[in-house]
Amino acid sequence: MSKRTKIKALLESEQTHIEVTVKGWIRTFRNNQFIALNDGSTNNNIQIVVDFENTDPTLLKRLTTGAAISVVGELVASLGKGQKVEVKASQIEILGDSDPEKYPLQPKKHSLEFLREIAHLRFRTNTFGAIFRVRNTLSYAIHTFFQDRGFVYLHTPIITASDAEGAGETFHVTNFDLVNPPKTETGEIDFKQDFFGRATNLTVSGQLEGELGAMALSDIYTFGPTFRAENSNTTRHLAEFWMIEPEMAFYDLVDNMDLAEALLKFVIKEALAKNADDLEFLSQRLAEEEKQKPQNERSDLSLIDKLQFCLDNDFQRLTYTEAIEILKESTPNKKKKFQYPIEGWGTDLQSEHERYLVEKHFKKPVILTDYPKQIKAFYMRQNDDEQTVRAMDILFPGIGEIVGGSQREERLEKLEQRMDEMGIPKEELWWYLDTRRFGACPHAGFGLGFERLVLFVTGMGNIRDVIPFPRFPKNAEF
Ligand code: 4AD
Ligand code: MG
């Protein structure tokens, strides 16, 4: 193992006057004397003090922003403000030069749009370092939460032949020569001759396979990539995103909501505990950004307060029907301020409506339940009113929908009838229907959009900035 000590450990060190080896990338070099060095272990840099009078001038010239170096020196208490310790260098080695004329990252503020174009380098900024450390913590915390509760991590397939959500937003997977695919006698593309002997696509959700697992293992969860070819160029949608989908046997909708709320609170708490520096940095970043906004659009809470607030308050639970009543009577609706006015019962809520409920009306996370069946997927459990289904969406401030889930329809007849009504091919989902034939039981589950969670916790404004290499319409660089 390398003798190198990571910067996070050095900055926390109680011991000084010891020799250390530190490696990282130069953020800045000022007065020919002070290097701010970062290695990604923390948002904070360590200061390297260079004895410039006794250092080869050609080496000094190569200490440029972006260069990778290895330093041996003494860890000493710092005289300067802003840091407890620093390293008095006795030996500096350049591992990789970085031409300051060409290096795209200058020691100044770059716009997020510009950084998106150089996503291969943006990890080296304070903002993206913080985001991806927080993302890592959240990801680990999700596993911890489920593992501590005896859930089985199930790997559901990436390539499938089904469209779980029935929304037709799948990416095709094929081995065909696209210019000249084999055709049937009637002139259609003959998928029987394709790699899998049928038409296949990238998964939009692991839920259906997850349910199969839950019907034997009781509690399972997936955590994997999902793909949707929805052409929505928004700050909340990606074509490739990660989803966490737990599925629990013998759970009803209330159990499902309780679990989702506990999960969200647990992972937020973990991020606050493990990424205090990063969240402090992101909180300040957001505060700066908010200053550019008009007074009435600014949030009264800092990022950290917002996260804490989420932990301290029960999520507001109400039905879709109750929400529609509130929205109908709301000031923006009466003053015709909504782009999509609330006219009646039955249509899907737009993000402006969700945000009104969460940010203006309840001022806390909201769980909406019992949506009209025509706007929800075929597998949701039908209520006795024959109008609504046992669905739940969790809505978060600044985000809108972060979780979508439901109690599942376990009654074969009802499920088949709904599939017929919605034109879902029953033959293709014979295996799914089998679970309703053999030992069916009440069960429920939900999907948490991982990037939407990271968006919320980091306070960033665009989902493209919380995944390393975003995939969205007309973009698959890197
Ligand atoms: O509401 P959705 O479509 O639900 C499902 O896929 C169910 N099969 C989940 C289940 O019950 N097991 O998606 C779930 C969540 C959304 O609430 C949202 O957070 C996220 O996935 N999501 C997206 N995130 C980023 N980009 C997109 N295009 C997303 N589409 C959904
Ligand atoms: Mg949804």
Kindly report, residue by residue over 339-362, the tens digit of the pLDDT.
Answer: 999 989 999 999 899 999 999 999
Ligand 1, residues 138, 211, 243, 424: which to mutate, most atoms within 8 A of Cβ? 243
Ligand 1, residues 452, 453, 466: which to mutate, most atoms within 8 A of Cβ? 452
Nearest-Å Rg of the Cα atoms of the chain is 27
* pLDDT at residue number 199: 95
Pairing verdict, β 152-153 and 46-49? unpaired
Rounded average pLDDT over 17-32: 97
Ligand 2 center–CA 78 separation, angstroms = 52
Closest by CA to 73, choosing from 21, 1, 141, 9, is: 21
| Range ranked top by mean pLDDT from 162-166, 167-171, 328-332 | 328-332
Ligand 1 center–CA 359 separation, angstroms = 21
Closest-CA residue, ligand 1 atom 1, reads 404
Going by pLDDT thresholds of 50, 70 and 90, the confidence category of residue 187 is very high
Query: Please, what is the average pLDDT of the chain?
Result: 96
pTM greater than 0.95 (yes/no): yes
Closest atom, ligand 1, to C-alpha of 167? 3
**Token pair 């909501």 is at which residue?**
257
* pLDDT at residue number 164: 80
Ligand nearest to the CA of 450: 1
Measured in degrees and rounded to the nearest 5, phi and psi for residue 369 equal -125, 170
Q: How far is 299 from 470, CA to CA, in rounded Å? A: 27
Ligand nearest to the CA of 396: 1
* pLDDT at residue number 299: 81
As to burial, measured by CB atoms within 10 angstroms (0-12 exposed, 13-18 middle, 19+ buried), residue 280 is: middle
Kindly report, residue by residue over 372-423, the tens digit of the pLDDT.
Answer: 999 999 999 999 999 999 999 999 999 999 999 999 999 999 999 999 999 9
Ligand nearest to the CA of 381: 1
* pLDDT at residue number 379: 98
Kindly report, residue by residue over 281-334, the tens digit of the pLDDT.
Answer: 999 999 999 999 888 778 878 999 999 999 999 999 999 999 999 999 999 999
Ligand nearest to the CA of 230: 1
Going by pLDDT thresholds of 50, 70 and 90, the confidence category of residue 82 is confident
Going by pLDDT thresholds of 50, 70 and 90, the confidence category of residue 2 is low
Q: Are 390 and 380 in contact (CB under 8 A)?
A: yes
Measured in degrees and rounded to the nearest 5, phi and psi for residue 144 equal -55, -45
Ligand 1 center–CA 16 separation, angstroms = 50
* pLDDT at residue number 1: 58
Ligand nearest to the CA of 211: 1
Ligand 1, residues 135, 234, 241: which to mutate, most atoms within 8 A of Cβ? 241
Q: How far apart are the first and last CA of the chain?
A: 31
Report the pocket of ligand 1 as residue ranges, CB < 6 Å. Answer: 164-165, 205, 207, 228, 230, 237-238, 241, 243, 245, 401-406, 445-447, 449, 451-452
Ligand 1 center–CA 58 separation, angstroms = 55
User: Which domains occur in the chain, in start order?
Assistant: 7-103 (2.40.50.140), 124-169+204-465 (3.30.930.10)
* pLDDT at residue number 460: 97
* pLDDT at residue number 108: 86
Could you write out the DSSP letters of every residue in 57-103?
A: HHHHHT--TT-EEEEEEEEEE-SSTT-SEEEEEEEEEEEE---TTT-
- Residues in the chain, overall count: 478
Instruction: Measure Cα distances from 36 to 9, 30, 330 in Å.
Output: 16, 9, 53
Instruction: Measure Cα distances from 151 to 86, 154, 216, 243 in Å.
Output: 45, 9, 12, 16
Rounded average pLDDT over 192-212: 97
* pLDDT at residue number 297: 79
* pLDDT at residue number 266: 98
Q: Which amino acid is at 168?
A: G
Closest-CA residue, ligand 1 atom 4, reads 404
Closest atom, ligand 1, to C-alpha of 228? 28
* pLDDT at residue number 165: 84
Residue 290, Cβ neighbours under 10 Å: how many? 15
Closest atom, ligand 1, to C-alpha of 207? 12
Q: Which two tokens stand for residue 18?
A: 């010891």
Closest-CA residue, ligand 1 atom 26, reads 237
Rounded average pLDDT over 212-221: 98
